[in-house]
Structure 1
Amino acid sequence: MRFLLCLPLIATFLILDVSDAQQPSVASEPSQASDAGGEAGFQAMISRGYQPLFNGKDLAGWRNPYPHGEARVVDGEIHLLADDKFFLVTEKKYDDFRLCVDIHLPDGPANSGVMFRCRVDDEAAKKKVYGYQAECDGSDRRWSGGLFDEARRGWIWPSTKGRSRDQFLVHEEESKAAFADPKIANALNRNGWNRFEVTCIGDRIRIEVNGITTVTFHDTTDASGYIGIQHHGEDGQTYRFRNLFIKELPNVPAQETVSIVEQEPISVQKIDDKTMLVDFGKVAFGNIALRVPPLGSGSGKIHFGEKLQDGRIDRHPPGTVRYGVSGFRKGTGEMGTWIIAAAADARNTEQTNPMGVHPPAVLTPKTWLPVMPFRWVEMEGWEGEFKPEYIHRRAAFASDWNDDASSFQCSDPLLNQIWDLCKYSIKATTFAGVYVDGDRERIPYEADAYLNQLSHYATDDNVTMAANSFDWLIENGTWPSEWAPHMVFMAHAQWMYSGDNDWIAQRYELLKSKTLMHRCGKDGLVRSDQMDRRKHDIVDWPPVERDAFVFTEINTVVNAFHIKAIERMAQLARAIGKGDDADAFEAHAKLATASFQEALFDDTQGVYRDGVGTNHSSIHANFLPLAFGIVPANKIAGVTEWLEQQDMRCSPYAAQYFMDGLFRSGSGSGKKAIALMIADGDRSWKHMVNSGTTITWEAWDMKYKPNQDWNHAWGAAPANLFPRYILGAQPTSPGWTTVTIRPCPSGLKQAEGKIPTPRGPILIDWTNDSNFAMSLALPDGMSASVELPATDQSNGVWVNGKSIDATQSGNRWVLKDMVRGTVTVEVR
């Protein structure tokens, strides 16, 4: 088997760091090491893919290169004692990694640190260990988390005269100002445990202290070395260390969770004597296996593409719609099959970027060769006969993907096409092993991942990718304000899906900094400073989709996300026995919600303003509170009526929440949601279907986002909306032990489907005519509360042919008792 690859494309990418504001008022941004000791802390790290550097029992894997100093193991901790400086170092070297170490300084004068990529000179008389160190500074200077070059170049960041080389003094003022920021200066818990985290990828070094990023720096001096911990040399002082873990990078999630599937083409079309166009029917991420050309001499080309133009693959597609090319030679005399791939785009494989700091791209296994999204292959220069069996696409999908796990069909053929498009979009974008943003950067983003997660749960029956994506993002977060609360949404959705309290407990402390409470005022509302308003507050993406949103210090959209995240944090805290935290979160949510209504609702118009200080009301400022259940009961009708008069003035991302709000309003607004989904024009899923795409887009059309890609799963919201609302199945307790079945006919005459759950599939089949009739099959161990549409002149509900106790509430019949197993239910 032979491997061919063309030259790479070059691209660059920049993401800005998030600037945090004032200190939290309650239950926010704790020391990440404060409750991380013992077996619970150990298992928490193991569950997130870390390997222990210290087994808690002995010093296997460590050594002391000095003739002095003592290291002991005491109650699962490493204690260092000495009367002169020394370092305990690992026996193994490490290259790229994420390192975690908890440090507890002794009382009095104390200074320690974590050595990384360090070197050891066993022959040196004194300075045996030298190199990079993450400083743990117990003095009033407060430079903990600084980058120091031990026994070599001195202070790198911050830098200071007399202890830094001239090359670092150029940023002395800037670096000292950074460490004077109270957020960094106060990051260290002087009298307790402190979590130090160091990430090294290529020449990029990032240091965090208790979740606060203190240094991000590029330096090429050392690419590999040992890990070490320090005793500063104070006689009689004991330095304590625990929870020493490392995760070697790059992490390639697809290695264990994604498989290559060989696919036959659906057609081969001869364009001319030496050119064939091969169609695989749908776009997938992959490359091709090609029979060695038996005839001819010289070379040929293989073109890969997502888009056709005039019957040929578009060589210059718009935006980041993909095109690639690779070459092949004829007449080589070889036999068998070649694996041929277009080269990886540099932008979606880079791990660091010299122009700025951004999370690393998610890599795929090297053994695959590069993969790219394509539907068509054009064989240029092929001589002689070409049969379909000569070529296969090697497509990457989640190994445990089950096409039969879910289904949806209704009386509207267009909605069925939309479902098929969205379901396949979820399958096709599992190629990386975690949820990425399509193929432009291959970087997970929190909002993208959450929408992808919801739809993955609704279309597949063995979902592990959601939890893996959360773990990736907790260490590689991105910059938008609203993306942070999405991490709470992801954790809550995983808990509701799995019912796994242990999984939540192992990640609970990490979630606290994602609530935006550190930006709250005394009224419980999040504040946005000038930088937040200019860079971090997203509202919608791309910016043209914001419905003329007016950014102010107190922002309705950001605060809606904040309040919902706090409510969900309260549920998670209570589930894992953190009662005091749960009480504090609930109190904060109550305060913030009251302030939200008072400050942001416009009583004159009956809708929400974009923020304090403006009278403009965007659809985003209204459908988000509605979707999140923040709108008071007496105001729901007015907000819903206003929204029903609006068009789809938002992106496919925000449309998830727009549709959520309309469906859940309880007023029959599902009809409006369906109408928007299948509307004429270019701002609907009908437009995507009619375009011929086989994976959903990042934006409704190229004119709204000229650099958009055509393989973006956040555009696949109907994959979760149809099962949750049209069929009406949603969990009401963790692990799907109890559910609500609440179909929203939305003008449809019939719908049926299969909804995957961890307990087995739910089968629903309903018809909506003069009566509403539903067949329902629940898996073992599941109970359902049932709410059905009240048809005209209906006066009761029958289950399995028997009248049962039910109450009409508005336009719904609510069954008194829960149902189990297989039943037929009819409203008459």
Structure 2
Amino acid sequence: MQNRRTDRGSFFPVFWKMDNHYVLMDFHKTFTLQQAEDVHIYAEGRYNVKIDGQLQEGTPLIITIPAGTHKINVKVFSQGTVPAIFVQGKTIVSDTSWLLTYEDKEWIDETGKTSDISATKWVNAGSSNFNDPSSPPSQFKLAVQPQAPVSVIKKGDTSLIDFGKETFGYIQLHGIKGKGSINIIYGESKEEAMSDSEAITLDRLHFDKDVNTDSTLPLSKAFRYVKLETAPGFTVDSVCMLYEYVDIPDKGSFRCSDTLINKIYDVAKYTLHLNTREFFIDGIKRDRWVWSGDAYQSYLMNYYLMNDDETVKRTIYALRGKDPVTSHINTIMDYTFYWFLSIYDYYLYSGDTAFIKQNYPRMQTLMDFCLQRRNKDGLMEGLPGDWIFIDWAAGLSKQGEVSFEQMLFCRSLETIALCANINNDAKGAAAYTKLAKNVKKKLFAYYWNEQKKALVHSRINGVPTSNVTRYANMFGIFFHYFTPKQEQEIKDNVLLNDSVQKITTPYMRFYELEALCALGDQQHVLQEMRDYWGGMLQLGATSFWEEYDPSKQDTEHYAMYGRAFGKSLCHAWGASPVYLLGKYYLGVSPTSPGYATYTVQPSLGGLQWMEGKVPTPHGSIELHCDTKQIKIKATEGEGILHIKSRTVPKGNNIMIKTLGDNVYEMRLEPNINYTITYKAM
């Protein structure tokens, strides 16, 4: 998937190591049958079958398993496709309870005896999409839907086709007649489509002989506009497209009294859907790659919109790849740490313990790689081959020991310690916890500047710099690393301080606004959303961009990376309002894995009313809130509702607990419709 990127027609592969699938896999499961059973076997690749260790003759399509307890092994070899099996009997079926390995460390001695001691590591098989033997995994394709342009402006042999909004798919040419060349220039903006020399994506077709045919271009592209140029005497009757998408329904929603915020939410949703493909990718035009920092934000947005576990898991697996580890994920140090954070977040939102157990060994080897690259002070500093990204920001120093990297490093150690406990690795949990505490101690000892009341950006040669940036400071807010006094100091001296370098990417605006929401400043954040995301809408955006700087003019908005149209106008990290509105306005957050317990802390932030739905693993939490009344219902879990009210709330089936400072608490049970009257602050 990541090798579909092209740049002006040239193949443009990723910058990092690409791992292929394991070509030889052994699947097995032990069954106990009351009576004999015929079992059909389908596989992608060459395979053999063993029953109780005995190899079956040939390549059986049907095997008979006798009554009793028996073990079935299916070993599959395939270089061109991922080895896969589909097994179907009356009771014996292929599912995630089957175990598999890419190396069965067993041998047969000179007597013919199979070894009875094995170091083989078995893991649970995946079972997401091989549900029909006539549709094997290698034939998987995203769904497509025909779409027509909203306008076509034709001038001589050139046509400018407008599909009305940012989209993704395959161009279809109907009624191609004659011979000669066709040039197709794609543009997320009209200006890009009209620029033969600067457009990022294009197709050039040539027909040596007279044709009278239709054609669908072989590679999907991102665009709103398409310029079609034909050679004299060569014609194309019409142009349309096949919109390509992942058919995942929305399970979450948000609506409120502010029509601009509703528009921002809708465009954010569309942006996330466009960048949700086989995996969560960064942007649909330029990279079309799986970047860990981008994906981490997509996971969080996904939990409040689609709540699709399979795409999260596929993306996490794809980013991690195989051992041995030879570089940071995407070559970026911070992106390695985001990968760790994504594991625990997935567990918190899904409750999927099996995934944590399966990935713990990969977490260990990746953390070993990080620990081996610490400097003499036990901190993370860029080494040759490491990319310290942080953010796109002019003049941002990446030298020395950057406080932001230590912040993420500390959180990653805390995360792997939690996962060690889930895996009953007490020794590992203790070691990782000790390391995390040590890094956290150094974070404040080395970087906290009492005069500036904030963490400084970096240390160089062991000496702290005086520069304060927003990154480590805002992450420390929602990581809950600061005291309440420090949080207020950082809010005043960093987050609301215009003299501290401002953030211009939606990527880091995500975290900046999350920090302000975590501090209870939803009213300020709502205005920031109106200004920032609303600013893109005023400029005609139909999906949200990779970067937005209000000070830029006209086509300057499209430029990036030294290219006139290098910027992505549909970037996953631009969709963060989906997450912010769900978590910090509807106020719904899990407090234990899989929403077994959760909190609801609605905050209107200046809105007159809002309503929405937050998906949970087996249901949802629905909420309506205005200045006088809250209605809420959850289908699972034990919840706690926190309300700020000028008066004591009243309602059905509730016990009110006063927490002070006009804050009240009540417990929520599943499948009860609660209606609570209160007076908003």
Which AA in structure 2 matches 1:742? Answer: Q
Secondary structure class of the residue paired with 2:658? strand
2:454 alignment counterpart: 607
The reply to whether residue 784 of structure 1 matches residue 639 of structure 2 is: yes
For residues 734-745 of structure 1, what are the structure 2 equivalents within 5 Å?
734-745=593-604
Offset at 1:521? Answer: 7.1
Identity level (%)? 19
| Pick aligned residue for 2:253 from 407, 413, 433 | 407
| Pick aligned residue for 1:499 from 317, 333, 351 | 351
Distance 1:648 1:721, change over 3 A: farther
1:301 alignment counterpart: 182
1:715 alignment counterpart: 574
1:594 alignment counterpart: 441
TM-score (norm: length of structure 2) = 0.73
The reply to whether residue 371 of structure 1 matches residue 220 of structure 2 is: yes
Distance 1:641 1:807, change over 3 A: farther
Which AA in structure 2 matches 1:409? Answer: R
The reply to whether residue 806 of structure 1 matches residue 657 of structure 2 is: yes
Distance 2:340 2:52 in 1: 35
| Pick aligned residue for 1:474 from 320, 329, 333 | 320
**Structure 2, unpaired ranges of 5+:** 1-5, 18-26, 31-43, 58-70, 84-100, 131-135, 323-328, 549-556
The reply to whether residue 570 of structure 1 matches residue 417 of structure 2 is: yes
2:22 alignment counterpart: none
CA contact (8 A) 2:46 2:77 kept: no
Distance 1:50 1:595, change over 3 A: farther
1:242 alignment counterpart: 120
Distance 1:384 1:283, change over 3 A: same
CA contact (8 A) 1:551 1:610 kept: no
The runs of at least 4 consecutive aligned structure 1 residues that moved more than 6 Å come to 37-40, 49-57, 90-93, 95-98, 227-231, 238-241, 251-254, 328-331, 382-387
Distance 2:626 2:282 in 1: 38
| Pick aligned residue for 1:775 from 594, 616, 631 | 631
Which deviates further from its counterpart, 251-260 or 272-281? 251-260
Which AA in structure 2 matches 1:428? Answer: L
Q: What's the C-alpha RMSD, in Å, of the aligned pairs?
A: 4.6
The reply to whether residue 428 of structure 1 matches residue 428 of structure 2 is: no
Distance 1:641 1:378, change over 3 A: same
Offset at 1:436? Answer: 4.8
Offset at 1:378? Answer: 4.0
Distance 1:641 1:726 in 2: 22
1:660 alignment counterpart: 514
TM-score (norm: length of structure 1) = 0.61
1:673 alignment counterpart: 525
Which AA in structure 2 matches 1:455? Answer: M
For 1:762-806, what per-residue CA distance to the aligned partner results, in whole angstroms no more than 9, with x for missing partners? 2222223xx4x322222x22332112234xxx1312234x87423
Which AA in structure 2 matches 1:242? Answer: T
Distance 1:494 1:748 in 2: 31
For 1:559-599, what per-residue CA distance to the aligned partner results, in whole angstroms no more than 9, with x for missing partners? 11112222222332333433343333333333332332222
1:445 alignment counterpart: 291
Distance 1:611 1:307 in 2: 38
Distance 2:193 2:569 in 1: 18
For residues 753-768 of structure 1, what are the structure 2 equivalents within 5 Å?
753-768=612-627
For 1:489-516, what per-residue CA distance to the aligned partner results, in whole angstroms no more than 9, with x for missing partners? 2211221222111111011111124443
Distance 1:808 1:395 in 2: 52
Distance 2:284 2:212 in 1: 39
Distance 1:787 1:530, change over 3 A: same
Distance 1:712 1:91 in 2: 39
Which AA in structure 2 matches 1:657? Answer: Y
Distance 1:51 1:284, change over 3 A: farther
CA contact (8 A) 1:287 1:339 kept: no
Which AA in structure 1 matches 2:387? Answer: H
Secondary structure class of the residue paired with 1:395? strand
For 1:497-540, what per-residue CA distance to the aligned partner results, in whole angstroms no more than 9, with x for missing partners? 221111110111111244434445798x52315548xx432222
Secondary structure class of the residue paired with 2:288? coil
2:363 alignment counterpart: 511
CA contact (8 A) 1:549 1:617 kept: no
Which AA in structure 1 matches 2:505? Answer: S
CA contact (8 A) 2:393 2:503 kept: no
Which AA in structure 2 matches 1:586? Answer: T
CA contact (8 A) 1:265 1:279 kept: no
2:38 alignment counterpart: none
Distance 1:93 1:662, change over 3 A: closer
| Pick aligned residue for 1:622 from 460, 464, 473 | 473
CA contact (8 A) 1:753 1:764 kept: yes
Distance 1:694 1:58 in 2: 59
Which AA in structure 1 matches 2:596? Answer: T
Distance 1:254 1:788 in 2: 49
Offset at 1:475? Answer: 0.3
Count of aligned positions? 587
Distance 1:633 1:672 in 2: 19
Distance 1:464 1:96, change over 3 A: closer
Mark the structure with the bigger radius of gyration: 1
2:305 alignment counterpart: 459
For residues 518-533 of structure 1, what are the structure 2 equivalents within 5 Å?
518-520=372-374, 526-528=379-381, 531=384
For residues 175-194 of structure 1, what are the structure 2 equivalents within 5 Å?
none
Distance 2:192 2:390 in 1: 40
For residues 37-436 of structure 1, what are the structure 2 equivalents within 5 Å?
58=53, 94=79, 242-243=120-121, 258-265=141-148, 267-272=150-155, 276-293=159-176, 297-299=178-180, 301=182, 303-309=184-190, 313-317=194-198, 320=200, 322-326=201-205, 332-333=211-212, 338-341=214-217, 369-380=218-229, 391-399=239-247, 401-403=248-250, 405-436=251-282
Distance 2:576 2:46 in 1: 37
Offset at 1:325? Answer: 4.6
The reply to whether residue 696 of structure 1 matches residue 551 of structure 2 is: no
Distance 1:657 1:618 in 2: 13
Secondary structure class of the residue paired with 2:546? coil
Which AA in structure 2 matches 1:469? Answer: T
Distance 1:408 1:775, change over 3 A: same
Offset at 1:391? Answer: 4.9
Distance 1:273 1:693 in 2: 29
Distance 1:490 1:797 in 2: 37
Distance 1:764 1:91 in 2: 50
For residues 720-735 of structure 1, what are the structure 2 equivalents within 5 Å?
720-735=579-594
